[in-house]
Amino acid sequence: MTFDFLGKSKYALALSGLLVVASVVAMVAVGLRPGIDFTSGIQLVIFYPAGTELPNDAVRSQVAQVLAASGAPSAPFYVQAVTGERDGKPVPGKMITVQTTDEAVMDKLQEAFTRPAPGSGIPTPLLTAGGGPDVSVTRIEPMVTREIRDRAWQAILIALAAMLVYIAWRFRLRYGVAAVVALIHDVVITLGVFAVARLELNLPVIAGLLTVVGYSLNATIIIFDRVRENVRAARKVSLAENINRAIAQTMTRTINTGLTTLIPIVVLFIFGGAPLRGLAVAMLSGVVVGTWSSIFVSNPVVYGWSVASERLRSRRR
């Protein structure tokens, strides 16, 4: 006997709806934390000489003094520990990100961090003997961030629209709409995780979201294809039974694919370091939520649409 997945869908959809609402509330109340890819600003990566690394609190205090002296005391910034390599040995460092749209402030910050004026009273992130730190500076101008932001949204919307058109052509419109609903569900919940965890939203994360969209869609289409085969082979069997059978037939494949995908993502999360943590979290959350939605979100939408269409046709007769 096939497990009644659709019969449990009301509980699954209630849980999904709760998570989506909670994610939207988190994004509104807590807010997302966009990186300088989307806000513009200046980012410095500092690698210290041996034995001279400063703790994060000391670096934050010095950055606050630099910002105050540069005319931007309220500019948001954060400090992350990073690890580099020199002569085959790990080198500790800090990544300092300051978000500002004022290019004059960026100039002052770059000058303060890399070429402080003697007697200016502006501390650098590290003033020690031993040759001083290695500092690399990356600047993202406001014009560039606007283009990046626009292109990111365009990429997501075009991808969703193209998927809707393809699935509607390959199957039927209801299947395309169901797939897009599941994808929106996945993206919203993943963004909610980023809001709650206060993780940076940057271009690698957008790439991760698009990867998750493709992964979730692939799992959904495989189930849809099996539903279509079952309907053709057993026309007298109810649609609900055919959908439940299709999910059961693909369950082993879904679980195996999910687990094998999660293994490298977990490794990336543990060993990838701070710069790749957002990408790893986006893919980790997206794979879990995408597997759930391919079973418990897209299929109930198809079934509900089909039942409603059948009732409408019956009334017209």
306-315 pLDDT tens trace: 888 888 877 7
When the pLDDT of each residue in the chain is averaged and rounded to a whole number, the result is 81
| Mean pLDDT on 217-246 | 87
Each residue of 249-308: pLDDT tens digit?
998 888 888 889 889 999 988 887 777 888 899 999 989 999 999 999 999 999 988 888
pLDDT at 118: 57
Burial of 87 (0-12, 13-18, 19+ CB in 10 A): exposed
pLDDT at 20: 95
Would you say residue 206 has pLDDT above 80?
yes
**Most confident range, picked from 64-78, 130-144, 157-171, 298-312:** 298-312
Would you say residue 213 has pLDDT above 50?
yes
Q: Are 274 and 81 in contact (CB under 8 A)?
A: yes
List Cβ neighbours of 255 (8 Å cut-off, separation of 6 or more).
none
pTM of the model: 0.80
pLDDT band per the 50, 70, 90 thresholds, residue 125:
very low
Query: Do 6-36+144-316 and 41-140 come out as alike in CATH topology?
Result: no
More confident residue, 15 or 130: 15
Class of domain 6-36+144-316: mainly alpha
pLDDT at 196: 92
Spacing of C-alpha 1 from chain mean position? 39
**Most confident range, picked from 23-27, 77-81, 88-92, 109-113:** 23-27
pLDDT band per the 50, 70, 90 thresholds, residue 119:
low
| Mean pLDDT on 122-150 | 62
Domain extents for the chain? 6-36+144-316, 41-140
Q: Answer whether CATH 2.60.40 is correct for domain 41-140.
A: no
- Helix, strand counts (H, E) of the chain: 10, 6
